[in-house]
């Protein structure tokens, strides 16, 4: 298996700068940030700190919300979700590491709506890659990749964060 590496820490720094500008342009003050377990939480922790957000960071484990749960034959260790703030009428910054098919994001939004009705959800991802199966796109991303069949992108961490392009 061949692999290439990307500087994930620099991508997060760039994404934090872009996110600050984006929030200013949209007039969003005091948003609530939610990371999707596991890689999205790692990215969200860094963005949350870089932006100095007031609200505590939320965490989602969307395992049981996935529509392909039974197809994948998953036997996951489920971590509890934690949303230490009201979701109703809040501007939510939903953070994940890699946007691929869109199914993880759809599952995360389903879970968020179980907690309440946000004013808006803004999707921020470290890497947006080809292969979408659902009409979901990121509001902001650190890097965009078009991958060939058999190629995958994987974030490892949390210290340090490292992105690897893997080939079968």
Residue 79, domain member (yes or no)? no
Does residue 2 have a pLDDT over 50? no
Per-residue pLDDT tens digits for 136-161: 999 999 999 999 989 999 999 999 99
**Mean pLDDT in residue range 100-115:** 95
The predicted pLDDT at position 168 comes to: 81
Residue 156, domain member (yes or no)? no
* DSSP string of the chain, one letter each residue: --EEEE-HHHHHHHHHHHHHHHHHHHT--S-EEEEETTHHHHHHHHHHHHHT-SSPPEEE--GGG-TTTTTTT----PPPPB--S--TT-EEEEEEEEESSSHHHHHHHHHHHHH---SEEEEEEEEEES--SSS---SEEEEEE---TTEEEEEE-SSS-EEEEEE-
The boundaries of the domain holding residue 138 are: 10-64+88-146
Residue 78, domain member (yes or no)? no
Residue 39, domain member (yes or no)? yes
Residue 152, domain member (yes or no)? no
Domains of the chain: total: 1
Does residue 101 have a pLDDT over 90? yes
Does residue 105 have a pLDDT over 50? yes
Per-residue pLDDT tens digits for 31-58: 999 999 999 999 999 999 999 999 999 9
Does residue 162 have a pLDDT over 60? yes
Residue 159, domain member (yes or no)? no
Please state, rounded to an integer, the average pLDDT across all residues of the chain: 90
Give the lowest-confidence range in 12-16, 77-81, 89-93, 124-128: 77-81
Residue 72, domain member (yes or no)? no
Q: What is the CATH number of the domain that holds 133?
A: 3.40.50.2020
Residue 106, domain member (yes or no)? yes
Q: How confident is the model at residue 114 (pLDDT cuts 50, 70, 90)?
A: very high
């Amino acid at each position: 298996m061949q692999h290439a590496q990307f500087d994930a820490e620099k991508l997060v720094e760039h994404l934090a700068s872009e996110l600050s500008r984006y929030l200013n342009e949209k007039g969003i003050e005091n948003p609530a940030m939610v990371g999707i377990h596991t890689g999205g939480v790692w990215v969200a922790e860094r963005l949350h700190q870089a932006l100095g957000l007031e609200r505590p960071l939320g965490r989602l484990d969307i395992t049981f919300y996935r529509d392909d749960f039974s197809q994948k034959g998953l036997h996951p260790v489920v971590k509890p979700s934690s949303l230490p703030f009201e979701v109703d009428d809040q501007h939510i910054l939903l953070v994940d590491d890699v946007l691929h098919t869109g199914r993880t994001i759809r599952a995360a939004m389903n879970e968020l709506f179980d907690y309440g009705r946000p004013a808006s959800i803004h999707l921020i991802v470290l890497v947006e890659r080809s292969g979408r199966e659902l009409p979901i796109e990121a509001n902001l991303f650190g890097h965009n990749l078009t991958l060939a069949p058999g190629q995958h992108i994987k974030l490892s961490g949390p210290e340090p964060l490292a992105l690897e392009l893997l080939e079968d």
